[in-house]
Amino acid sequence: MNYVSTRGQVEPLEFQQAVMMGLADDGGLLIPEHIPDVRDRLDAWGALDYPALAGAVLRLFTTDMPADDLDRLIEASYGETFEPDVAPVVRVGELFVLELWHGPTMSFKDVALQLLGNLFEYILARGGGRMNILGATSGDTGSAAICGARGRDGIDIFMMHPAGRVSPIQARQMTTVLDDNVHNIAVEGSFDDCQRIMKTLAGDLDFKRRYALGAVNSVNWARVLAQIVYYFKAAFDVQRATGAERVRVCVPTGNFGNILAAWYAVQMGAPISRLILATNENDILARFFNTGQYALGSVHETLAPAMDIQVASNFERYLYYKLDGDDRRLQARMAEFSRTGSLMVEPERPGGGPDPLFEAGAATRDDILAAIRRCHDQYGYLIDPHTACGYSVVTSLVPAGVGEAGGPDDTEPTVVVATAHPAKFPDAIREATGADIARHPQIDALADKPTRCVTLDNDIEAVRKFIIDTVG
């Protein structure tokens, strides 16, 4: 399996080269040359545990790695790192919830970043050299990436977050990690500013090569690849519980990486009939899938800060496929978006969105609080504000969870992706329920730990200088 850039100016790469390149050198995003069809393997895959299923999926995309080496990396990433399981599915009323917060930082980002940290170390050990990871986070990516990279040989990690715009707990999960190879940067701006700085420095090829910049954000294909696995697993689990032929999946998303992984799973043949995209008030993606127009708006600070994003970096991968793999048309559309802040994809049906696979909706602050309260009061189950966006959108589109949406799939069960442990957002839980019930010993222990972080202006050159001064 080789990898190409959405912008067509990079020679095909093998998997390990794609992992180390991160953002494609032409400014695009790396994607596999083809998407495998696995419909003839679903029965066998449905009987596998999580590590074995991960091996089955990843082997299709990592053909330059010995199978035994890949299996060892998977075991190191998932064998004892997640409790009680990597991605358990639980029933909550009429819905199913895919709990992706059982990793070391209690976020869905752990599933991909535990593997990516091991991949980086494996590749560096065989090729020599060092890597300086430059990342941007709107919340959970930072702590998960730091956890995956801390203390590793040959790696330094520079993680930018928007100053004052992540939750206090998310900030402490990052800044209390004091390993010598971990460097936290609070940027005086938004997440989109952090992402712009990251992409600009990665696009400066002389700087990227001289300072061996690598990427842990979902611009790195390995992030998306690792996430594909849990959509197969969730679909299989719900099939066993219900006997349904296919399921629907609702994904709260800001940067489009998590739901893009679900889209890839569908293209491969996962038994998923519909993708329900949920945003908060930063609804650029919901507007796109309802109208076909992808247009910038103002960034709103919300109770779900990891989704306070306007420019979704993974959208370019999806757009490439919508344009039939035409890299010239893709470049023209992205140039149009850079120039005007808007682009249009024609709807596939009158009055509908550009893709019949997707439904989409947005949750307001009141919607988020109401979803948390309803889930707790009716079912004794706590969800974080990001998961609440998904829960709210699902229950507005499908009022009883199943059976009331209309259409050919109205009896299919629905899975809501739970992206973080509620203890990471105690203020929102307290506001919704009136009680201080979102607790976890690991989170409570952060309060007394020392922190280390540097605050920089919202300026590309300030971040560049910090990296140079740090690594020499």
Q: In whole angstroms, what is the distance from residue 376 CA to residue 371 CA? A: 8
Local structure of 4: helix, strand or coil:
strand
Is the CB of residue 62 less than 8 Å from the CB of residue 15? Answer: yes
List the structure tokens of 390. Answer: 């998904």
Q: In whole angstroms, what is the distance from residue 198 CA to residue 463 CA? A: 9
Distance in Å from the first CA to the final CA of the chain = 36
Catalytic residue of the set 109, 208, 233, 424: 109
Which string of DSSP letters, residue by residue, matches 218-258?
TTSHHHHHHHHHHHHHHHHHHHHHH--S-EEEEEE-SSSHH
List the structure tokens of 377. Answer: 């009061």
Cis peptide before 84 (omega within 30 of 0): yes
Q: In whole angstroms, what is the distance from residue 100 CA to residue 397 CA? A: 23
199 is catalytic: no
* 264-268-273 Cα angle (round to 5): 80
Backbone phi, psi, residue 75, to 5°:
-65, -40
Q: In whole angstroms, what is the distance from residue 120 CA to residue 164 CA? A: 30
Q: In whole angstroms, what is the distance from residue 100 CA to residue 121 CA? A: 24
Local structure of 248: helix, strand or coil:
strand
Complete edge-to-edge strand list for the sheet that includes strand 89-92: 89-92, 95-99, 414-418, 247-252, 272-279, 358-362
List the structure tokens of 18. Answer: 């794609």
Q: In whole angstroms, what is the distance from residue 151 CA to residue 155 CA? A: 8
Is the CB of residue 191 less than 8 Å from the CB of residue 308? Answer: yes
Q: Label residue 26 exposed, middle or buried (CB < 10 Å: 0-12, 13-18, 19+).
A: middle
Question: Around Cβ 315, how many Cβ atoms within 10 Å?
Answer: 22
Catalytic residues: 109
